[in-house]
Structure 1
């Protein structure tokens, strides 16, 4: 099979296209013929060695993907052979991700994908959708599971709604019944956030964004899903309701975070820092189940017309796909691996 690998941390140039044997699924595992692989910021950061030291002599990157189950290991229902699936956390604690024609994952990381959902949608779920789910289910006064009606009466602020996680926050929050406000930096990103389903968009670079958000949410925002905590904290606190939650999954721009303790005591602010690697099995399972339900309801479409442009590369162009993600390309970067 064709696979992308790297043996040393470094820039995109360390990625190589090689031939490898098709792996065999072990007990509790499935072998998946990968159709589309999704690329996330964590994939290039792991490749670059920016997060943790490389754990394995050779790594095939990418946590997310979609394809068809070809074989199952002991303990897995043989009826799953031929099942269309989306994959998540493929390289968590493992050396073989989805940037290959075949990959092996634990059976519970291969989630059934409805026939009506394309593989490009399946490969766009994973990290963005599971992160969004976690951000929306950690509030003191909110639900710990999502379904239609779970967020009725709540107001969600999706920071950076034109990004992959922000897009998923908008879609999942709207599916669950919330009023969704998204902050954006310009008209093109505003269009994407609206196409994703945001009820209101606010340009944080113009006018008085606090007053504008408060105009849409006079009692304040219940949950902020934050991508740039250091840069946006003052805005977040100015619009947060008492006992509101700021769930932060990144700190784009790297600005230092300084907290006014008294201000946050008075607000009873809840801060939730999150990363999927350490969120725990229970949270991951719940998120995968709820995201699968949303997909079944048609609530998580992707593509330009749905607010998330797809930027596609062939398997041999995986290094360019990584460069695109590193440079902040708007939309979801995908690698087309093999036809199914």
Structure 2
């Protein structure tokens, strides 16, 4: 089978196309014929050396994907040959299980049924972004630990970076769960994307009165912040929250130091939650996978220009270019078409 591998870390030039043997799944594993592989920032960061396998170990990039089960390991229940599935963090601690290959073997807990109404492109776009968004939306002390229609009714969510993949998923999941959503973006073009995703209101965070705009929209403060730039937005986040609000941060884009006004934070009993889905625990993982699947089945996690997340497709042999596009900050979702569906 065709596969993309790298045996040393570095820029995208370390990626190469090779032929690999198709392996059999062991107990607790399934083998998936990959149709579409999704690319996320975590993928190029791993290739550059973050959580990379030891030098010389063949690693297959990309954590997320969608495809069809074509073999089931011993003692596996819940999946059968022919099932459509979406995959998330398939390559975590398993360098050979990335989705940039024609077949991948993955643990059953990293696979979820892909509803018939959901395309493989959409399935490959779920994974890291949607699971991260679900986690960020369910760590509030007074909120649900699993999303469903009505679960966030009456709540106001602020999504920073509403035009990004995680921000896009957070907007869609929050709206599906009944929340009112305010998104922040850098400018007019991205504001249009966040609005298309379903944000009720969009604020340009570069505006000097961005905090006042948010406070006008949510006079009592926002309940949950889904944060992509913890340092740069620390002051804004603390200014627009209320007692017992939660600021859930999954990134620190820009790398600015994070400064907390301790007196204000403690007076308001603010909750800061840092979100990394790889280590969030089995119960939260299962809840996220099941809720994301349900939202996708309801049509709440669509992609494309009309849904506010432009799609950029590459062939398997163009994986290096796909990585470069994500590393370069392309707006939208980058997908690698591995096979015909």
2:261 is matched with 260
1:21 is matched with 21
Q: Would the aligned equivalents of 1:64 and 1:127 in 2 still touch at CA under 8 Å?
A: yes
Q: Deviations over 1:189-246 (max 9, x none)?
A: 0110011000000011124111111111111000000000110111111101111000
Distance 1:31 1:97 in 2: 12
Distance 1:19 1:171 in 2: 39
2:301 is matched with 300
Unmatched runs of 5 consecutive residues or more in structure 2: none
1:186 is matched with 187
Task: State the number of aligned residues.
Answer: 339
Q: Deviations over 1:246-281 (max 9, x none)?
A: 000000000011222111111211000011111112
Aligned to 1:238, the other structure's residue is in SS state: helix
2:221 is matched with 220
Distance 1:143 1:285 in 2: 14
Distance 2:167 2:239 in 1: 20
Aligned to 2:320, the other structure's residue is in SS state: helix
Distance 1:116 1:299 in 2: 12
Distance 1:78 1:20 in 2: 28
Say whether residues 1:8 and 2:26 are aligned partners: no
Distance 1:281 1:318 in 2: 31
Aligned to 2:234, the other structure's residue is in SS state: helix
Distance 1:276 1:92 in 2: 11
**Under a length normalisation based on structure 1, what TM-score does the superposition of the two structures give?**
0.98
Q: Would the aligned equivalents of 2:72 and 2:79 in 1 still touch at CA under 8 Å?
A: no
> Mean Cα displacement is larger for which, 78-87 or 4-13?
78-87
Distance 1:143 1:283 in 2: 11
Unmatched runs of 5 consecutive residues or more in structure 1: none
Say whether residues 1:33 and 2:33 are aligned partners: yes
Correspondence 1:277-296 to 2 at 5 A? 277-296=278-297
Distance 2:283 2:303 in 1: 27
Q: Deviations over 1:105-138 (max 9, x none)?
A: 1122221111111100000000000000000000
2:51 is matched with 52
Correspondence 1:159-238 to 2 at 5 A? 159-238=160-239
Q: Deviations over 1:62-103 (max 9, x none)?
A: 110000011111112486210111001101111121000000
RMSD of equivalent CA atoms: 1.1
Aligned to 1:285, the other structure's residue is in SS state: helix
Distance 1:93 1:290 in 2: 25
For the structure 1 residues 103 and 302, does the alpha-carbon distance in structure 2 shift closer, same or farther, using more than 3 Å as the test? same
Q: Would the aligned equivalents of 1:72 and 1:78 in 2 still touch at CA under 8 Å?
A: no
Distance 1:183 1:315 in 2: 34
Aligned to 1:133, the other structure's residue is in SS state: helix
Aligned to 1:85, the other structure's residue is in SS state: strand
